[in-house]
Amino acid sequence: MTTPPNCPVCAMENTYQDGEQFICPDCAHEWSATALTVAEDSDALVVKDANGNLLADGDSVTINKDLKVKGSSITLKQGTKIKSIRLVAGDHDVECKIDGTAWMLKSQYLKKA
């Protein structure tokens, strides 16, 4: 017999299963077992490039337009190839290194290489 999962609302572990539902007696939250598996799958970060292709950690991308860096005279040039990107949550959803300098970029300005 497997132990039921912790409550997704209050994180208490004394939950129990009633048919197809899990119930938390501490906060009275009820959820279905299928909703739990969908929630676990939706934790994956979905990031798309300018063409709508899905990006993943470790992909190589190119910059599709010149990007001026705020507060600096640096411009990231169109066509610059970036290897081994890392996806992060937030407004700037791609973390990478260009010539040894760490950058946070928006995926809408990148194309999968």
Does position 48 have pLDDT exceeding 80, yes or no?
yes
pLDDT at 35 over 80: no
61 is written with which tokens? 């991308």
Amino acid 44: pLDDT: 66
Query: Which of 36-45, 75-84, 95-104 has the weakest average pLDDT?
Result: 36-45
The one-character DSSP state at 69 is P
Kindly report the average pLDDT of the chain as a whole number: 86
Domains of the chain: 1-43 (2.20.25.10), 47-112 (2.30.30.40)
Q: Locate all alpha helices (DSSP H) within the chain, ordered by sequence.
A: 33-41
Distance between CA 58 and CA 109 in Å, rounded? 17
- pLDDT at site 75: 95
- Angstrom CA distances, 36 to 15, 16, 19, 76, 102, stand at 14, 14, 15, 42, 36
Tokens found for residue 77: 């040039």
Looking at residues 94-107, what average pLDDT do you find?
94
In the chain, the amino acid numbered 103 is: W
pLDDT at residue 32 greater than cutoff 60 = yes
pLDDT at 79 over 50: yes
